[in-house]
Structure 1
């Protein structure tokens, strides 16, 4: 077998799309439309690579170029809930080192996400654990709406039903004025929790590039806005992706609008035939209110593994010293599968 990597081009773009479409890990965030969204809105220097075994595509790697001083490297694409490297089921994890060496010809480091732990365990290259995070995913085949409802406490059901009793209804937003109201409260909510706010142009472009896959819904009573949420879902996929939440922070504390939001997401995904619903990226913090809220609706934590792979001795030494000086554990072993520390 012979491995090679190719930078995405007009000549091989169709092969990228074909691989993403057939892979069980493929997502809208791996499509070339999403790449165009990131490039046009954020002017990013994206570097998308295909991995070939002989002449068959066995992996796709969405990266963004990153420079640290004189060192050139690749990082995971930002603003994307699913930005992981995707490998074919036939790919032998023991060959990852061979593939990494191909990137070493041009880059000094790689930072990427992957779902499979088996691949990481087989890497002989020095590597550092960067972050412990994952996605909260609901398996609707195992937890249909009626099963989830039966697990709710009386208080949970009250917090969902109170909105309907007070005259709130859920409607899909299509008019530009409705989208602007959604964005206004999205921005206020992110400001309140000190989150990263995406520009309005991002949502405009998202609606333009994914017209049949974006659903924006709002919970309102006349002019009173309680919440809004955006779902990205392809009719030919089995997973729906809940993405962006807008909240009216001026509502009285007796209201918990995230509960009817989640309940609508569950029922909408179920009614439209989706097998899974992703509630988005989340750190493994069982006591975190957002983690607990999603778990109440049946979502389970699916870990994603983030690794920094130094491809040059200079980067390895520099990063090791940085972690050492900052007090982060930096124990290192040259044996296969060992990492140089964990945060």
Structure 2
């Protein structure tokens, strides 16, 4: 029986780590070793990149993870999306078992590990949705595969003289659009330095695509390139230019960049099923896929998980014992309202500090 040794990776392991990742061409590029430096340099979080090796010292599994501390001081561990990879089931079980012991020894409250597109019936799973756009081998064939309405929207952008521009030289303009849009929808956003670190460490595996109208950036996306699949985790558009169809124009620009790299799949990112963002991705031609998460709560000192509702006095309860205005008293809802109604400069100051208390990427 094979003996599996698990240890934490160091900088000297970066090349074999990425070489192992290279064996999985259809996995979006969230598991490469560079993310260790990105997370540490941008948010100063503790990273734990676990490696599994067989009897002969050959790498047979990887699990990149990082630790965050909540506002209340609780510690959670998150795995990087699509980063948990292994060449056989015994390696998967060994890594998860090691991780469970690791977390209990350090009083870590919970573990959230993205397993990928394949479920594991032997462990508890949370299911989310991503949308993946399959591409044909040529630009012409891919264009013909789009819906008539989608092609018309792209043509509309062309008629309105929209132009696509590559490169992180437009980062300042994109970041302004990104933060403004995230504030509008009540979502906490990253520090600009996070994107600087992504560009610095991922190099030719990442690009910033921006759409310009009369010289002004009106939309943009950060796109990550893997071997046979690309993904864009961050995209934003100026609301006042939505009637110019910049989103469809930008998506088509991303498609052309993928085809130029011989990439045949574009992961359009996780979305809540049925939401406007989810539907727009499906309308463009994306196919919904299930993404499975190993979501394992560990016992706190009191033996229970942290409560998700702020304690309130009993006079806020109705006759059935339900909290009046319950949804407004949840910490997540309170923070969302703070974001919506605070000035942008203040949100840009506090949002990155809150980002590092939860899932970062």
TM-score norm. by structure 2 comes to: 0.72
SS at 1:258's partner residue? Answer: helix
Alpha-carbon separation, structure 2, partners of 1:257 and 1:209: 28
Gaps of 5+ in 2: 105-109, 310-321, 323-361
Instruction: Measure how far apart 1:170 and its partner are.
Output: 1.8
Does residue 260 in structure 1 map to residue 249 in structure 2? Answer: yes
| Aligned-residue offset at 1:308 | 2.7
Matched, 1:187 2:179: yes
Q: Give, in angstroms, the shift of residue 272 of structure 1.
A: 2.9
* Pick aligned residue for 2:283 from 275, 296, 307: 296
Aligned pairs for 1:224-263 (under 5 A) are 224-233=216-225, 237-251=227-241, 254-263=243-252
**Cα distance, 1:321–1:163 mapped onto 2, change above 3 Å:** closer
Q: Secondary structure at the match of 2:239?
A: coil
- Report how far residue 44 of structure 1 moved: 0.7
Query: Are the counterparts in 2 of residues 44 and 64 from structure 1 also a CA contact under 8 Å?
Result: yes
SS in 2 for 1:23: coil
Aligned to 1:215: 207
CA distance in 2, matches of 1:171, 1:134: 30
TM-superposition CA deviations, 1:55-102 (whole Å, max 9, x none): 33221111113568998663224xxxx3541121x3347x71x54433
Look up the match of 2:340: none
Question: How many aligned residue pairs are there?
Answer: 304
Contact 1:4 1:102 in 2 (8 A): no
Q: Which residue does the alignment assign to 2:111? A: 110
**Cross-structure match for 2:134:** 139
Aligned residue number for residue 44 of structure 1: 45
* Cα drift, residue 107 of structure 1: 2.2
Match of 2:153 in 1: 159
Q: How does 1:314-333 map to 2 (within 5 A)?
A: 318-319=304-305
Q: Is 1:310–1:316's contact at 8 Å kept on the other side of the alignment? A: no
State the match for 1:75 in structure 2: 78
Q: What whole-Å deviation, never above 9, does each CA across 1:283-332 have from its counterpart, x for those lacking one?
A: 3x1x32211211122222222211233567x6895249989xx9xxxxxx
* TM-score, scaled relative to structure 1: 0.75
Task: State the shift of 1:114 in Å.
Answer: 0.2
Alignment counterpart, residue 189 of structure 2, candidates 190, 197, 207: 197
Return closer, same or farther for 1:308/1:152 CA change in 2, 3 Å cut-off: closer
Match of 2:85 in 1: 86
- Contact kept, 8 Å, 1:111 with 1:308, in 2: the verdict is yes
Q: Aligned partners of 1:205 and 1:70: how far apart in 2?
A: 27
Aligned counterparts of 2:26 and 2:204: Cα–Cα separation in 1: 21
SS in 2 for 1:28: coil
Gap change, CA 1:159 and 1:66, over 3 Å in 2: closer
Equivalent position to 1:61, from 48, 60, 63: 63
CA contact (8 A) 1:145 1:270 kept: no
Partner of 2:318: none
Stretches of structure 1 lacking an aligned partner (at least 5 in a row) = 327-343
Structure 2 distance, partners of 1:70, 1:260, is 44
Q: Which has the higher helix share?
A: 2
Q: What is the rounded CA distance, in whole Å, between the counterparts of 2:145 and 2:131 in structure 1? A: 20
- CA shift for structure 1 position 151: 4.4
Match of 1:29 in 2: 30
1:4–1:67 CA distance, 2 compared to 1 (3 A): farther
1:37 shift after superposition? 0.8
Q: 2:269 aligns with which of 280, 302, 311?
A: 280
1:329-340 correspondence runs (5 A): none
